[in-house]
Amino acid sequence: MNPRTTSRGKKRTVSEPPQWDTLLGKAISSLTPQPRFDNAFLIRVKGKRAGTVTQADAHRLGLTVGTILTDALAADIQLAQSRFLCRTAALRLLTRAAQTTAGIATKLKRKGFGHADVTPVVEDLVRRGLINDELYATNFASSRSAGGRTGPRLLRTKLMQRGVPEAIITATLAEITPRRDQLSDAVALLTKTLSRSMTSRRPVEPATQRRRLTALLARRGFDLQICFEAVRIALKTPESR
């Protein structure tokens, strides 16, 4: 359940309306479509809010005006609303940025949703293609490897931090890496760095310069051998003399 704070500072859960027990045994008085959400209905019992559920859940539970609210039906409505709120939160996250399966699950749990809500919601979004770890990894690696901005080692670390499974990371990097000449990317990055440093009036000793350039590439995730070779090549170019 997702806790919210009332104006008096007391916490309550949105999936459980105030004085729920007073609604039991009474009939549903209205099912109002919610314009903010597609296929969602606000349930009222005797004019009081009793939850919001999807149209599919309303049909599954047999909710109609006049349906008597029993203990079992009340529990089903609470579960359906909790799933609805979890799905709504997930879709909001997806509208802001692409998400991984593990990443969005973690974010939903931080919002207060439990495993029983998060798992089926995320699985449904994966089935619908709204979450795709393979596509996420490919787009992420492609965009950050362009121009040598990020090397394979750092790409692997960043993808792991975002919850991409190891097998997908390995397959993605195996596909992405051959497309780009890592050495050329590293040399290009160093060439830009050296051209900017030409405006500096402070002379740098060769050993210090090599160490700094190697560290720069290492931070970007290039393999150590690539770092050494790129530095050797870049410092031989006319621009660096």
Q: With a threshold of 0.85, does the pTM exceed it?
A: no
Q: Does domain 182-240 have CATH number 3.40.50?
A: no
Residue 180 pLDDT: 55
What confidence tens digit (pLDDT) does each residue in 100-150 have?
A: 999 999 999 999 999 999 999 999 999 999 999 999 999 998 888 765 667
Structural fold of domain 3-127: Arc Repressor Mutant, subunit A (1.10.10)
Nearest to 160 by CA among 110, 221, 231: 221
- Give the residue extent of every domain in the chain: 3-127, 133-179, 182-240
Most confident of 9-13, 126-130, 221-225: 126-130
Most confident of 27-36, 138-147, 183-192: 27-36
With b meaning 16 or more CB within 10 Å and e meaning fewer, what string describes 157-169?
ebbeebbbbeebb
Higher confidence at residue 221 or residue 97?
97
Question: CB count, 10 Å around CB of 206?
Answer: 8
3-127 and 182-240: same fold? yes
- Burial environment of residue 149 by CB neighbours within 10 A (0 to 12, 13 to 18, 19 or more): middle
pLDDT of 190 strictly over 70: yes
pLDDT of 8 strictly over 50: no
